[in-house]
Amino acid sequence: MARHFSLSGFPEWLPEQRLVEQHVLSTLQQTFELHGFSGIETRAVEPVSQLLSKGETSKEIYLLSRLQAEAGSDDAELGLHFDLTVPLARYVVENAGRLMFPFKRYQIQKVWRGERPQDGRFREFVQADVDVVGQDTLSQHHDMELPLVMVDALSKLPIPAVVVRASNRKVAQGFYEAIGLTDVEGALRAIDKLDKIGEKAVSEILVAEGATPEQARQALALAQIQGADASVADRVLALGARSELLDEGLHELVSLIEGAGELMPGAIMADLKIARGLDYYTGTVYESTMIGHEDLGSVCSGGRYDSLATDGKKTYPGVGLSIGVSRVLARVLGTPLVETSRKVPTAVLVAVMDEEHRRASDVAAMKLRARGIATEVSPSAAKFGKQIRYADRRGIPYVWFPGSPDSVKDIRSGDQVDADAGVWMPPLEDLTPTVRKLP
């Protein structure tokens, strides 16, 4: 008998939980395609050198190799991808001659990170990404398009409302340079930890990395600014620092907030403590939290990257966001915040009178399946009462009885009517399991 080993950080859902996951994934796919995004899938592995080229992620990468791999072989230095953006950069460069730009893609796949498993954080998890990639240039209006796509997608899921918060790396970088901070990337990484470790700890990190106490205070003052209109820019400028890069970033941020506010009021707000730790972001950055579940952290994040992908001749700027599907599912399933109408896809159980007549039950099931009705045949020819209880335990709403004529029973109401397997249809709400948000 095989021994069971539990590995933390590698979620495995029960069948009824998997129904919720499939509903979420299907809803995301439909919404992304509604906005004109095409689906792709990239390989699970990349050369380690490629994975290491996009930021400080060396501690997160899972290496992949054969037990008998020879030194210098092609698979000697491969790693599992830790996000879907780095593979996208490689995919765009390799297929640039066959893609139409701007290239609008969505991608729903598993990724792997060697993080310490905890609430909402896994070592293997599903991400759902949407990105727009241009060739040499990419219009700034896509910075507003992408978060609104995500707002639309998230609003259709059976989860609490999500608030999208945005900032701009140009604002932070321009401000830091204007006040004399030299380690801009270090400051961004420190500010990115503000919600996790608090102002005092962030200030200590900034000072330890070369900032003066006054510079640390000013950096934290910038990070405290939030708002949903152009007044955000006024409050930044009131801090007294000015630079060309700062002005450019503020213009982009205000355009985003005001434009989004016209299309989806309240969908996006400015929050200048959003920094994003990965090095490839160059402009707008986003993070999102579920209302009432802020302790879970960001469930959807991303940003603008103007130089992530290049072939040496052409540059492919982009902007994108990613939903941590497994993180969201862990919370809504664990609390729980959702429920399914039944635990199995099956809508109809075909009863078996006795084993000699099982073929008649199989024929009825085949007719029902041919018309798109999920059907299974009773595993035993027990008394009809036991077969009905079997259906009830599995949440199957209908039991079919072969005969002359056939009949079908709604075991919830007890109603039973004569029926023809080539014509009968259950109500639409019973055809497939439904998922709803609990009050």
CA distances from 6 to 3, 11, 60, 114, 221 (A): 10, 10, 21, 17, 45
Per the rule left: phi > 0, alpha: psi between -120 and 50, beta: everything else, 276 is left
Would you say residue 4 has pLDDT above 50? no
**Residue 77: per-residue pLDDT:** 84
Residue found under tokens 């727009």 = 132
Confidence of residue 278 (pLDDT cuts 50, 70, 90): low
Would you say residue 271 has pLDDT above 50? yes
What spatial distance separates the first Cα and last Cα of the chain, rounded to whole Å? 43
Would you say residue 148 has pLDDT above 90? yes
Over residues 359-380, the mean pLDDT reads: 98
By percentage, how much of the chain surpasses pLDDT 70? 95
Q: Which helix or strand (DSSP H or E) is residue 407 part of?
A: strand 407-410
Confidence of residue 1 (pLDDT cuts 50, 70, 90): very low
Report the distance separating Cα 217 and Cα 275, nearest Å. Answer: 17
Ordered by start, the domain boundaries in the chain are 15-339, 348-437
> Which fold would CATH assign to domain 15-339?
BirA Bifunctional Protein; domain 2 (3.30.930)
> Which fold would CATH assign to domain 348-437?
Rossmann fold (3.40.50)
Would you say residue 36 has pLDDT above 90? yes
Would you say residue 3 has pLDDT above 60? no
**Residue 74: per-residue pLDDT:** 62
Would you say residue 14 has pLDDT above 90? yes
